[in-house]
């Protein structure tokens, strides 16, 4: 079984890259399907599950230490429950034994014994803003500054969750097999190049 | 003209990857040739030029600020001369107009108007130690701890030089087109996968 995992910066196009990889390679594709399964299993509203798992749930608790203010990050207990359920869903997906692409959710760390090919997707801030603008809903009119803050917050939450769950550093090249910058690419051409690279990697693992 | 630049962590195998890429693609290969040219142009000893450019030249100057000790990094004036000469050599290489692979020396930033395909090469500390051990000369018997310190120092110097010359962050995925982790690969297979990826990128640039 071949598993490709995609971690990504918000706005970098990682989701589109993953979808295209699944199409090119004929793999199953898992993204919001995971949220739906967690919602179904927990009996909670899908939107609440998505918000809690993907974007929120981290809080800063201010403490004074040695005369300086610091903050300790903590996470809601309800979120930990959902993270455990999400892990179970990802393990169930892998247990199906079918080739697949999984977006986010630290699937690379959760499934590490199955040797997934792990990709991190990044891009320049300018490229990410352009991408977010092109995809924004009509009702979502953020200024550049608000958009930058949103990107930063979401990526920070992702980094914290990864650190909390896996101890491996989010966005650090050593934590993944391949890191691609989507900046200078047409996404279709990039997906084809990454698909060929991943196939060589899976071939290599057989030897 | 197609230029591939390789930045790398010490011990990650970036040099070997670059050499293999040049062989596979039939490109010229530049590494220590750059040092020799700088030595020749400056009339200085090649070993001195190599040491000054590659590993040394940064100093920490301790300063007290707000009651706490900090350090300011500075670089010898003689090193700045050599960096300028090295930049000239790299520009002369590019002026030859031939496809090439250039190892290190911030060639991606120096030649950015020529749109090189820029690669960063990394690996886990354990994998790098293993690699260094396999390649060490008989007279170079460092302990793991000494080796780790050496790797850290060289990478720190590389990061500082990049920051000083280019303002772009060394080792950050956004600073390169592709970042590869050599850890789980046979180097020959990896080089073939990266070569195919680079060829797709150059094809893409034509469109």
Taking contacts as CB-CB distances below 8 angstroms, the residues of chain B near A194 are 197
Residue A171 · residue A10 · CB < 8 Å: no
Give the pLDDT band of residue A191 (cuts 50, 70, 90).
very high
| Of A78-82, A166-170, B127-131, highest mean pLDDT | B127-131
pLDDT over 80 at A109, yes or no? yes
Ramachandran assignment for A182, one of left (phi > 0), alpha (psi -120 to 50 degrees), beta (any other): alpha
Q: What does the pLDDT average to over B144-160?
A: 89
pLDDT over 80 at B61, yes or no? no
Q: Do B176 and A174 touch (CB under 8 A)?
A: no
Between A66 and B131, the more confident residue is: B131
Is ipTM > 0.85 here? yes
Q: How does the average pLDDT of chain A come out, rounded?
A: 88
pLDDT over 90 at A141, yes or no? no
Q: Do B173 and A173 touch (CB under 8 A)?
A: yes
Q: What does the pLDDT average to over B59-78?
A: 68
Chain B's closest residue to A177, CA to CA, is B181
Residue B166: CB atoms within 10 A of its CB come to 15
Using the structure block, give the residue that is written with the tokens 């898992």.
Answer: A30
Q: Do A178 and B173 touch (CB under 8 A)?
A: no
Taking contacts as CB-CB distances below 8 angstroms, the residues of chain B near A189 are 200, 203-204, 207
Give the pLDDT band of residue A206 (cuts 50, 70, 90).
confident
Q: Give exposure, A37-58, as e/b (b: 16+ Cβ within 10 Å).
A: bbbeebebeeeebbebbbeebb
Q: What is the pLDDT of residue A70?
A: 67
Alpha carbons A133 and B82: distance in angstroms, whole number = 45
Q: Count of A–B CB contacts within 8 Å?
A: 88
CA B57 to chain centre: 16
B78 touches chain A (CB under 8 A): no
In sequence order, which residues have a C-beta less than 8 Å from that of residue A11 and are 6 or more positions away?
Answer: A123, A128, A129, A131, A132, A151
Using the structure block, give the residue that is written with the tokens 């990044």.
Answer: A122
Each as own residue / partner, the long-range contacts of residues B88-96 (CB below 8 Å, 24 or more positions apart, any chain) are: B88/B41, B89/B34, B89/B37, B89/B38, B89/B41, B90/B30, B90/B34, B92/B37, B93/B28, B93/B30, B93/B34, B94/B1, B94/B3, B96/B28
SS3 A152: helix
Alpha carbons B100 and B198: distance in angstroms, whole number = 12
Q: Which two tokens stand for residue A81?
A: 């429950």
B30 touches chain A (CB under 8 A): no
Q: What is the pLDDT of residue B59?
A: 66
Which residues are bridge partners to A68 per DSSP? A65
**pTM for the full predicted model:** 0.89
Residue B47 · residue B53 · CB < 8 Å: no
């Amino acid at each position: 079984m071949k598993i490709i995992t995609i971690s990504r910066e918000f706005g970098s196009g990682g989701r589109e890259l993953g979808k295209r990889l699944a199409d090119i390679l004929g793999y199953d594709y898992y993204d919001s399907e995971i949220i739906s399964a967690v919602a179904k299993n927990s009996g909670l509203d899908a939107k609440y599950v998505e918000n809690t798992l993907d974007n929120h749930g981290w809080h800063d608790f201010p403490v004074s230490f040695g005369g300086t203010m610091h903050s300790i990050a903590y996470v809601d207990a309800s979120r930990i429950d959902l993270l455990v359920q999400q892990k179970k869903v990802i393990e169930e997906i892998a247990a199906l034994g079918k080739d697949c692409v999984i977006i986010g959710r630290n699937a690379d760390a959760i499934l590490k014994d199955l040797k997934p090919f792990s990709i991190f997707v990044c891009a320049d801030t300018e490229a990410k803003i352009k991408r977010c603008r092109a995809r924004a809903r009509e009702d979502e009119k953020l200024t550049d500054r608000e958009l930058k803050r949103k990107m930063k917050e979401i990526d920070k939450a992702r980094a914290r969750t990864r650190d909390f769950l896996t101890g491996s550093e989010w966005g650090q090249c050593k934590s993944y097999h391949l890191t691609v910058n989507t900046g200078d690419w047409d996404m279709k051409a990039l997906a084809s190049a990454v698909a060929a690279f991943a196939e060589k990697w899976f071939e290599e693992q057989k030897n």
